[in-house]
Amino acid sequence: MADHWQSLVANLAVVALFISAWVHVGQPLAARWPRIWRSVSFGLVMGLGAVCSILLAIPLDGAFFDLRFSLMALAGFFGWWPAAIIAAAITLVFRMSLGGQVMTAAIGICAAGTTGVLVSMFTRRRRVPLIGRALILALAVGVVSLGLSYILRLSIGSTVSPLSFPVAVTNMLATLLCALFILRNREVVRERDLFRAAFIEAPDFQYVKNNDARFAAVNTRVATYNGFASPSEMIGLSDFEITSTDRAMQLMLGEQKVLESGEALLDQEELLVGPDGKASWYLTSKVALHNPDGDVIGLAGVTRDITADKHLKQEVVESRNKLDYVLSEITDGIAMFDKNGVLVYCNEQYREFFPLTAEQRHPGATIRQILRAVAETQEQKGAPAHDYEKWVEEIADTLRFANEQEVQLHDERWLHIRTRPTSEGAALVVVSEVTKIKQAESALLSLTEQLRLLATTDGMTGLTNRRAFDQALEGEMSRAKRAGLPLSLLLIDVDRFKAYNDIYGHQAGDEALKTVATCLREALKRPGDIAARYGGEEFVAILPNTDEDGAFFIADAFRENLRALGLPHTGSEKSVLTASVGIAVIDERYTGMNATELIRRADEALYNAKGAGRDRVTGWRARSEIRPVGLRA
């Protein structure tokens, strides 16, 4: 029995030996291989380990007990199907060469490898912790080992060996220890690779030197800066071999001081010229490295390029100086209030804009204190002299919103005040004097009104001109159609006006036209009626909401008033100055009519009035309608 236990221990030693060989020799060699070749190589090592385990098997009643199941399961668990197949193939070939119960052995080998693959799939999907994965694999291997032992004993018709359970437990322990060892080693390798990658690929310059001031490790940034293709090319070199003698001596003296004193060199700024001739700023820190006994074994350094930061700081300083200059020279007043309405900054111009309350406008004063002083001094027009608290609160609340307002001061000056709140709740107030602008604006409005009148008024008669009449007619027709109301148009022509000019002269003719315009203006009683000079001796009138009878009444009143003036006109058969009027109406019968058609009808009616003897009013009718032409009373 003691020999059997020695054999089991020897099997366990074989498993441990092959696992250790893979972890410390095989895995580092295969680290850069493709994944499939790493899996194949792992299966090959596990297969050879299983062969050695079989060589140390315990023979009992024609059966062999060993730890091959542990190696098969590990091959499937860590190397998946490729490793499991390779390991099983090697083990089966060797086992077949030994003879005996080959079929049972083959089933056991395949079952162990498959168990490793299935456990790996199960635990990976559920993200089981390392120790949990190892335990599940070990239990599965123990169950398979003990189950096959029972199957083997039943197949050969003997009783179960008392070693079956110890062999199963040994397989479990071997599997558990080896799985934990490999898993832990993988975690260590992963962490080591992570730290190595962080060191090599860090954007800062990172390096380690030994006590002889030679580089023991550098990252890619250091190697590239010094013109090397890879960090490995710098290992073993000193600063004297990569930079100038003076610079190397300077670095060595500083580093020796760190190594001898043990005090770290922190945040040392340097302005250096790189290999490309470009000047840059760097921030360097160096610390001494110690072994567990406290002895100094080297030095680690980190250098950071702070050129961009230096430029940024310089720009900030320059910008601040420029801002101070601008704020002191700008003509606008600038004030900044915090979220509580406290004045935190103001330039001198801001205070000068408010001479009566300048003493109140200083950092630390609140907006409410300032506004109360404004009300008490009546510095701003419109500020209440008494009971001004409500006014103060209303103005103070405007700091919370973007707004613009213009205020007039007691000395007639106008100020434009712009308030812009910030995201932190503060408010920027910009004050500008706009007195000249307000004066210019008032003058411009007056001039604009004069230009508007000139643009829409006939210069001689004072009536609306032709252009303004056209626009007014379009608008009134649209309004009449929408409201379903009538609209009338009068087209007026002074009778025999050419003869009047020839007899009395053009100056007298102009005076006669002014008289006609006055009569027409007096005939239109309503504010909405529009009288215009249409051209030459022609006049028009727009009569909104007026039907044909109303239009005849107004037109005839105009005609009679003009005739009653008795202006002599020897060139007319009437002996006095008279006018003829044509009327066109738009109502429910003619809703589709446009302005051109309405004027054409009025002109046609005017033509009929002249043809009927002049000095009369005639309305337009379609030719199919019968209407006597004559004086409308």
The full DSSP string for 88-142 is HHHHHHHHHHH-SSHHHHHHHHHHHHHHHHHHHHHHHHTT--HHHHHHHHHHHHH
For residues 506 and 481, state if they share a domain.
Answer: yes
Structure confidence at residue 157 (pLDDT): 52
Do 488 and 386 have their domain in common?
no
Q: Is residue 34 part of a domain?
A: yes
Tracing tokens 């002996």 back to the chain, one arrives at 575
Tell me the C-alpha distance between 60 and 66, whole Å: 11
Residue 71 lies in a domain: yes
Question: Do 340 and 210 fall within a single domain?
Answer: no
Q: Are residues 484 and 417 in the same domain?
A: no
- DSSP bridge partners of 394: none
477, 598 Cβ separation under 8 angstroms: yes
Residue 321: inside a domain, yes or no? Answer: no
Phi-psi region of 315 (alpha: psi -120 to 50; beta: other; left: phi over 0): alpha
Domain presence at residue 502: yes
Evaluate whether 532 touches 540 at the Cβ level (below 8 Å): yes
Shared-domain flag, residues 24 and 138? yes
Do 336 and 251 have their domain in common?
no
633 vs 200: CA distance, rounded Å: 113
**pLDDT on residue 633:** 30
The CATH number that applies at residue 209 is 3.30.450.20
**Which range of residues forms the domain containing residue 527?**
457-619
pLDDT at res. 291: 85
Looking at the structure, tell me whether residues 226 and 178 fall in a common domain. Answer: no
Among 179, 197, 215, identify where a domain stops.
Answer: 197
Residues 182 and 242 in one domain: no
For each successive 10 residues of the chain (633 residues), what is the average pLDDT?
A: 62 78 78 83 84 73 67 83 86 79 76 84 77 83 76 56 66 81 80 79 87 88 87 89 86 86 84 76 88 86 86 78 69 88 89 90 92 91 88 89 88 90 89 82 69 73 89 90 91 94 92 94 90 92 93 94 93 93 86 86 93 93 52 36
Q: Can you read off the two tokens belonging to residue 7?
A: 């054999």
- Whether 326 is covered by a domain: the verdict is no
Residues 527 and 609 in one domain: yes
Distances (CA, A) of 503 to 183, 460, 479, 496, 506: 127, 21, 44, 11, 9
Check which CATH number belongs to the domain holding 154 and give it.
Answer: 1.10.1760
Per-residue confidence (pLDDT) for residue 155, from 0 to 100: 60
Residues 132 and 173 in one domain: yes
Q: Count structural domains, the chain.
A: 4
Q: Domain for residue 32, yes or no? A: yes
pLDDT value of residue 115:
84
Single residue among 197, 231, 261 that ends a domain in this structure: 197
Q: Which residues contact 399 (CB under 8 A, 6 or more apart)?
A: 337, 341, 367, 419, 421, 427, 429
Positive or negative torsion for Cα 378, 380, 384, 390: negative
**Any domain includes 324:** no
Compute the distance between CA of residue 406 and CA of residue 396 in angstroms, rounded to an integer.
Answer: 16
Residues 107 and 174 in one domain: yes
544 and 488 belong to one structural domain: yes
